Amino acid sequence: MSPNQQTASETKPETKPETKQYIPSVFRISPIIRITLITFYWALLIPLPFLAKVSSTPVSPIVLWIGISLGFLALYGALSEQVIVDDEKIQVAYPNWVPRFFRKGWQLHWKQVKDLKMRTTGQGGLVYYFISQSSDQAYLLPMRVVGFNRLVKLVQNYTGIDTTDIRPLAQPWMYLILFGFTLLLLLVDGWTITTAINQGLIY
């Protein structure tokens, strides 16, 4: 074989071994929770600017509308929470438009998780906190996300902590009941405002 001839193995381009990429799991707050809380917010506060017109309150309706709008942005930002889980860590994050001083978020590597502690809320519910090995800081396990059962299974797989008895803080039917009462409140708001306009009390 001449020096200019090469074997097929020598001319074959070198290939790099394929690396498996892990796609993070993203959990968002349940839509029924978001819709219920946003609707309840508007049902409670929409009447205030109209009441300011027919009462002797020193606060301008325009100021109330501005305050209500800012409050809605704050509520919407808080409800935009995302829980991101991969093979290295769990992370709670918010969109870039949410100021960090309002909602900072956090992340915790699985190797830093020491334990998952249970705490009782003032209403008698149960919440759970991650305890870190590197500090005394505790991290609240998000419990109002879609796919919560899958989330706790991932926590168990990556930490070895038994999550069998962990349940969501509130069941969907609780928010459905609240949503029903919220719609009723909106109907009362609409009827009251329409009546006041027809009577010339609001213009």
26-32: average pLDDT: 94
Q: Is the pLDDT of residue 45 over 90?
A: yes
User: For residue 45, what is the enclosing H or E element?
Assistant: helix 31-45
Angle between helix 172-198 and 31-45 (nearest 10): 30
The predicted pLDDT at position 83 comes to 96
Is-contact 42 183, C-beta < 8 A?
A: no
**What percentage of the chain reaches a pLDDT higher than 70?**
87
How is residue 56 annotated by DSSP?
-
What per-residue confidence (pLDDT) applies to 202?
67
Mean predicted lDDT score pLDDT of the chain: 85
Given this model, what pLDDT does residue 133 score? 86
Q: How confident is the model at residue 65 (pLDDT cuts 50, 70, 90)?
A: very high
Please give the model's pTM, rounded to 2 decimal places: 0.79
